Structure 1
Amino acid sequence: MCQSFLIFVEVILIGVTLDSESVQGDTTEIMSSARRGRFHGKPFGGNASQQSTSGVSDQLIKNGRKSGQLNLSSRGLNAAAESRGDADFDNDERWWDQVELTKLILASNKIQDLSEDVKLLSALQSLDIHDNELQGLPETLGELHQLQKLNVSHNKLSSLPSALFSCPQLVYLHLEHNNLSELPNELGNLVELDDLDVSNNKLCTLPATIGQLVKLKSINLSNNNLTVLPSQIQFLKGIRTLDLTHNQLTSLPKELGYMRSLEQLYVRHNKLKELPLLEHCSNLKELHLGNNLLTCFGSDQLQCLNSLTVLDVRDNKIAIVPVEITQLTTLERLDISNNDVSALPYELGNMVHLKSLVVDGNPMRSIRRDIIARGSEGIKKYLRSRIEMPEEPKKAAAVSSSGSGQTGLFGGGEQVDAHSVKVSRALDYSGKKAEEVPPEIWELGVSTQVTDLNLSKNQIKQWPSSLVLLSDWVVTVNLGFNKLTALHTDLGLCLRLQNLDLRNNCLSTLPKEMESLQNLHTLILSVNRFGEVPAVVYKLKSLETLLISGNQVAQIDVSSLRQLDKLSSLDLQNNNISVVPPELGLCTNLRSLLLSGNPCRNPRPAILNKGTDALLDYLRGRIVQ
């Protein structure tokens, strides 16, 4: 059982391609040498003159033989490790403690070739060779019938061996950042494939056989040269995430509307002039259409998107936002910045779940700039104020405020309607100029199990201790525009919390107990007194939006930011940042990065005004190699 592992330690792991003379040598001698722990020092690339100085310890090999997993990443390997001597493994290892190799990591080295002897690892399930200098792969990969995961991203591959598509168990295939100009028709043979990433290549077309990958859940085709998608894409009914960003698409096939499981669709930075009817995409939650040539989106298109929470149509040529957009009752983020919109439908102000409304860069005539500067809630409040109330409801409201005792209002006549709270499970006690929230308001919140709590625009100085009463249900909390100087550790008990708005307060720290908020998606800390991004923020692994503009943040901690792999929107405007590290450009998950209003000289305002993608490209270009 262990012989193939032992031979591969000698032949491949330590000298990834043994030179031709050694391959033709006596395998008995190879086996004997492997058992004694002697490594011949043959090069990874088959060039015996390029000896590596990086050693691979006997203990590492011994551990691999026992666990079935071997990690040789980031060792500068372009040649074999030198022998560490005559360690006799037979003296301290028992053969029954040794297992076949199932996981091999050779990432981040300088490997140029992979030996055909990889076939010796018949039990291999996971092979990671990303970030090397591979220009080709051996045909013998097809003999690894147990292989489930293959990562050969960030190499120099221009083609793929046909035998690769004979791996019947392959579920994960990452080929991003190579030089592939086409995918073979044999791709359709990988019927178990679950995750496919071919981004950052040179693909112009996709094979029609891609429709055979019926188990695919995620496919990344971004940063290629695709001009059209095959109609067979309709058969990918299991797809949840489809990324087509940065291609040359002028249209999307109508068949895209049959992808019933689709949850996230990214088509930013293409040449789309219209959007097909996504008739059956009832599970679509995020639609990213920024940086295209769209002039409108019709009511018939909006009616199909009942589950949408994010709609991004920034940087297009849209002139009108139809009132039918209010049918998207679950919408949380709407970005229509940098279009030709001159007015918004007033009904937008009544969209309860809409937390982020971005309208900058439009020739707005009906909304003053000072109102836009107040942010999403300010714009929504203005829009609500412009809605004319019918005569009969006006009279009813007057009766309600008369204090007849039958009104169902709470909060000392402040018109918090108990019936409305019960129906919507949203409690709005904002703009009351209150220093404390009345007990009856908390009682109402508990009795109706509210999920949305709005206490903004009051005079609250201390964290409301009674808020913990709602911790079992509350999903959204807005305490913006108050006078808070600190938060209570009880905040960490609100485990269902997804959106937290703390803008315009006097906060300088956050409690470490916030680490438990692992469902938090949006955190707004703008206009406070933070001198840095609080350390606990980097532990919020579900965070997608972080707004911390208008503080005194002086530095950008890129290494910590990169831990937030779901972060897509970061606003650091109007802080004290004097240096923008080029490594920030490596945060490629960012889809909105705002840095204006800082004292840094680079990037220049002209770069900042070009948008997030141009800014990230600029920063990456300044990284010292």
Structure 2
Amino acid sequence: MSRLKGVAGRDPRAGFRNERRDCAASVPQGLLKAARKSGQLNLSGRNLSEVPQCVWRINVDIPEEANQNLSFSATERWWEQTDLTKLIISNNKLQSLSDDLRLLPALTVLDIHDNQLTSLPSAIRELENLQKLNVSHNKLKILPEEITNLRNLKGLYLQHNELTCIPEGFEQLFNLEDLDLSNNRLTSIPASFSSLSSVVRLNISSNQLKSLPAEISGMKRLKHLDCNSNLLETIPPELASMESLELLYLRRNKLRFLPEFPSCKLLKELHVGENQIEMLGAEHLKHLNSILVLDLRDNKLKSVPDEITLLQSLERLDLSNNDISSLPCSLGKLHLKFLALEGNPLRTIRREIINKGTQEVLKYLRSKIKDDGLSQSDCVTETAMTLPSESRVNIHAIITLKTLDYSDKQTALIPDEVFDAVKSNAITSVNFSKNHLCEIPKRIVEMKEMVSDVNLSFNKLSFISLELCMLQKLTFLDLRNNFLNSLPEEMESLVRLQTINLSFNRFKILPEVLYRIPTLETILISNNQVGSVDPQKMKTMENLITLDLQNNDLLQIPPELGNCVNLRTLLLDGNPFRVPRAAILMKGTAAILEYLRDRIPS
């Protein structure tokens, strides 16, 4: 009854009669009544030039209907009804917001996109529960410092304004996960952004940035970085240490060199089209193990290196509108779904073959390998040596890329000559994928002091031998597409392992040994038969950020999994459980974890 305080002994309608009449003309009483029940009010597209007082005071004043009916059913007890938590006033003609905004302290969502706002009121600091603020498509020139008081903010959308700088203290928004500053007039990004350690998605495209601060690498959970349409000439080398980065957009800048990404093991898409890149070298490709999409269109490339075959996961490659005259026939070994070559002065492939599409081009390149062998003019041959077994080892890759690559040979045995070819060279990566291996070669143990990446995917392994467990420096292990149903306890000795890919095997439970590898950051175990996970043991894995359990046999998701608050990516699609429902899954990891936590028995 707190809302009745101060109204006894007078007509509660006296002070607000005219105001309410004006309000009723722009906001139907039925909408306000429904909003008191649901806590949500949508006034989008109502041609409003100002927000009516009855909206600001919706949780303060006695509703109009209360003065006409003094007997209330259970559903009409307005004094028991919900405070407004979601207000949408987008697509109107608002030029300013009143300080009466402070009368809605329970707001978690405020959406005012597509108006004509030039500023935000300082009273916005009092919306301490706000989690999502959308002020995109307005005319903001500055942000009030008070916005830094919104410590619970998770999504901030400021795209398509006229911002020229970021206010001091912005780094205090430490819960921010999604930040969109695109299409403004920013000339710099503060180094303090490094403190925004929860940000998963950052869009700073279509600004006037000439550089990025090296400190941006401090955004440890950043997965999606969009820097399209700026004036960038270089990328700070620190960007290469962002281990969570999955999507990087650098289109329409002034880059002359492709950056190197030694630590970006999860990088899946790299878009550097419409720049001034003149050279693509092996050093640029050697760390892109997980890349699915590589966009190099509209640059000044003259050639493609033979080491393009290192990109075994690549699905889309756009080379259109460059200066490429020939392609290495080794390109045919890739399993591309899309290859764009238009706008290049290609002389070694007939136009009619290119016009038939990607698969015909790849087929043609593979045929040239078979037909011409090592004499094919547009195949790089000086980096290969012929072994007695008629196999080829890429010596250039061993010396320059520190990679022992013997993949896609369809062999059941790795010849000794392959290991002998390493000699005294320090190897960091081994790729034996796409063969018919039934066991891990014993001689791999010879590299235990140096190898950090091992790819044994697409083989016929049904068990893991102890030799693999002796690779003390191993950080990345790819075992997908094999016949595995268990892992040896000895894998506990892999004290540096960060990423393991077990997808497309035969696991029925999450292997127990994984819970005892505290360095693990990424577990990919989709497309197996996993029926359960242990949330208590999972919670002890403090570094685990990504867990992919898609397409397994999970009949239920334990609510305690919601306590694994370090998870930034939890993928559960394709399992037979009923809850959480698809609508929750679509909202993303944070929503899933919150949903699970709410269902933990007290």
Report the TM-score when normalising by structure 1.
0.57
Q: For residues 33 and 83 of structure 2, what CA distance do their matches in structure 1 show?
A: 12
Q: For residues 2 and 192 of structure 1, what CA distance do their matches in structure 2 show?
A: 33
Helix, strand or coil at the partner of 1:293: coil
Q: CA deviation at 1:374?
A: 1.1
1:142 aligns with 2:136: no
Q: CA deviation at 1:59?
A: 1.5
Q: For residues 135 and 337 of structure 1, what CA distance do their matches in structure 2 show?
A: 42
Task: Quote the residue 1:32 is aligned against.
Answer: 12
1:375 aligns with 2:375: no
Task: Quote the residue 1:365 is aligned against.
Answer: 347
Q: CA deviation at 1:154?
A: 0.5
1:516-535 to 2 correspondence within 5 Å?
A: none
Q: Is the 8 A contact 2:268 2:290 kept in 1?
A: yes
Q: For residues 311 and 31 of structure 1, what CA distance do their matches in structure 2 show?
A: 70
One of 69, 77, 88 as aligned partner of 1:94: 77
1:442-461 to 2 correspondence within 5 Å?
A: none
Q: For residues 216 and 182 of structure 2, what CA distance do their matches in structure 1 show?
A: 17
RMSD: 4.1
Runs (4+) of structure 1 moved beyond 2 Å? 26-43, 79-83, 85-93, 389-395, 418-426
1:229 aligns with 2:212: yes
Task: Quote the residue 2:277 is aligned against.
Answer: 294
* Paired letter, 1:375: G
What residue ranges of structure 1 are gaps of 5+ in the alignment? 8-25, 44-51, 396-406, 409-417, 427-444, 452-471, 474-494, 497-517, 520-540, 542-625
1:149-180: CA deviation from partner (whole Å, max 9, x where unpaired): 11100111101111111111111100000010
1:607-622 to 2 correspondence within 5 Å?
A: none
Change in Cα spacing, 1:125 to 1:321, as seen in structure 2 (3 Å) is same
Count matched residues. Answer: 396
Q: CA deviation at 1:28?
A: 9.3
Q: Is the 8 A contact 2:144 2:167 kept in 1?
A: no
Change in Cα spacing, 1:122 to 1:360, as seen in structure 2 (3 Å) is same
Q: For residues 138 and 28 of structure 1, what CA distance do their matches in structure 2 show?
A: 33
Change in Cα spacing, 1:312 to 1:99, as seen in structure 2 (3 Å) is same
1:355 aligns with 2:355: no
Q: Is the 8 A contact 1:36 1:88 kept in 2?
A: no
1:408-458: CA deviation from partner (whole Å, max 9, x where unpaired): 9xxxxxxxxx986999869xxxxxxxxxxxxxxxxxx9x99x98xxxxxxx
Q: For residues 343 and 70 of structure 1, what CA distance do their matches in structure 2 show?
A: 61
1:538-553 to 2 correspondence within 5 Å?
A: none
Helix, strand or coil at the partner of 2:317: strand
* Paired letter, 2:218: F
Task: Quote the residue 1:604 is aligned against.
Answer: none
Report the TM-score when normalising by structure 2.
0.59
* Paired letter, 1:366: T
Q: CA deviation at 1:384?
A: 0.2
Q: For residues 368 and 31 of structure 1, what CA distance do their matches in structure 2 show?
A: 89
The percent of aligned pairs where both chains have the same amino acid is: 44
1:73 aligns with 2:50: no
One of 332, 335, 338 as aligned partner of 2:315: 332
Task: Quote the residue 1:258 is aligned against.
Answer: 241
Task: Quote the residue 2:265 is aligned against.
Answer: 282
Task: Quote the residue 1:194 is aligned against.
Answer: 177
* Paired letter, 2:327: L
One of 125, 140, 163 as aligned partner of 2:108: 125
One of 98, 105, 116 as aligned partner of 2:88: 105
Task: Quote the residue 2:474 is aligned against.
Answer: none
Helix, strand or coil at the partner of 1:173: strand
Task: Quote the residue 1:172 is aligned against.
Answer: 155
Of 214-223 and 59-68, more deviation after overlay is shown by 59-68
Change in Cα spacing, 1:28 to 1:359, as seen in structure 2 (3 Å) is farther
Q: Is the 8 A contact 2:180 2:204 kept in 1?
A: yes
Q: For residues 163 and 183 of structure 1, what CA distance do their matches in structure 2 show?
A: 12
1:478-517 to 2 correspondence within 5 Å?
A: none
Task: Quote the residue 1:605 is aligned against.
Answer: none
Q: For residues 10 and 39 of structure 2, what CA distance do their matches in structure 1 show?
A: 20
Task: Quote the residue 2:511 is aligned against.
Answer: none
Helix, strand or coil at the partner of 2:202: strand
1:103-145: CA deviation from partner (whole Å, max 9, x where unpaired): 1111111111111111111111111111111111001111111
1:537-616 to 2 correspondence within 5 Å?
A: none
* Paired letter, 1:332: E
Change in Cα spacing, 1:115 to 1:30, as seen in structure 2 (3 Å) is farther
Change in Cα spacing, 1:165 to 1:80, as seen in structure 2 (3 Å) is closer
Change in Cα spacing, 1:424 to 1:238, as seen in structure 2 (3 Å) is closer
Q: CA deviation at 1:277?
A: 2.0
1:271-299: CA deviation from partner (whole Å, max 9, x where unpaired): 00113322211110000000000001221
Q: For residues 29 and 278 of structure 1, what CA distance do their matches in structure 2 show?
A: 73
Q: CA deviation at 1:244?
A: 0.5
Helix, strand or coil at the partner of 2:169: helix
1:6-40: CA deviation from partner (whole Å, max 9, x where unpaired): 99xxxxxxxxxxxxxxxxxx999999349999744
